Amino acid sequence: MALADLGTPVRRWAQAQQQAYTRGEDRPLGGFLGAMSVYATVVAAGAAAVRASGRQLPERIPLGDAVLLTVGTFRLARRIAKDPVTSPLRAPFATFNGASGEAELSEDVRSHGGWKHAVGELVTCPFCLAQWVGTVFVFGYVAAPNATRLAALTMTAVAGSDVLQFAYDAVQSSATGDDGEGGD
């Protein structure tokens, strides 16, 4: 059997797995494999770049930096996935449904199939994006810790401000008896 002949049984096996897994739903397993491959390649390239630069990995990360990176990751992933201002980044992969909360949008992934559908699932899901954003922050922390702390601090400050905005609106609503629907 020639090497080229191996492709047919592998394709059949992959199609059977997709059909058994999805049960007729539109799930872009091939696109997800592609996204995982891109992620693994980016991580490998980043690790090689760090190694080639001679930078040492930190033996431990101070708790304050870990919290800063965690909150920054949360806020930036949510900003990319839900913010109206970043909707042009998601537009090729999603359709607008309406508002889903204060300064957040509800969007559906377009049924492109394949890699475009997988990218749509990624860019509209803050939980999914957090893996990528967190990885960028960690590589940034190793390569340029001060600049990365500043970037994470910015997003952490925004997250803190969001909490204060919600608290302010709640206090205003309870003081005026308003349901909070028309806040600033």
Measured CA to CA, the distance from residue 107 to residue 125 in angstroms comes to 10
| Assigned domain for 26 exists | no
146 has pLDDT over 80: yes
Domain of 84, in residue numbers: 76-171
Q: What is the pLDDT of residue 35?
A: 94
| Assigned domain for 125 exists | yes
Residue 3 banded pLDDT, cuts 50, 70, 90: low
| Assigned domain for 122 exists | yes
Mean pLDDT of the chain: 91
| Assigned domain for 88 exists | yes
34 has pLDDT over 80: yes
Residue 116 banded pLDDT, cuts 50, 70, 90: very high
Question: Are 90 and 123 in contact, with CB atoms under 8 Å apart?
Answer: yes
Instruction: Give the three-class secondary structure for 23.
Output: coil
Domain count, the chain: 1
Stretch 3-17: mean pLDDT, rounded? 79
Which residues does residue 106 pair with via DSSP β-bridges, in sequence order?
98
Closest CA to 152 of 93, 61, 70, 38: 70
180 has pLDDT over 60: no
Residue 123: enclosing H or E segment and its boundaries? helix 114-123
Which alpha helices (DSSP H) does the chain contain, by range? Answer: 7-22, 29-53, 63-82, 87-90, 114-123, 126-143, 145-176
| Assigned domain for 32 exists | no
Residue 98: enclosing H or E segment and its boundaries? strand 94-101
- Residues in the chain, how many? 184
Stretch 116-130: mean pLDDT, rounded? 96
Collect all residues with Cβ–Cβ distance below 8 Å to 125 and sequence separation of at least 6.
81
Measured CA to CA, the distance from residue 3 to residue 160 in angstroms comes to 57
Measured CA to CA, the distance from residue 51 to residue 68 in angstroms comes to 25
| Assigned domain for 56 exists | no
| Assigned domain for 113 exists | yes
| Assigned domain for 82 exists | yes
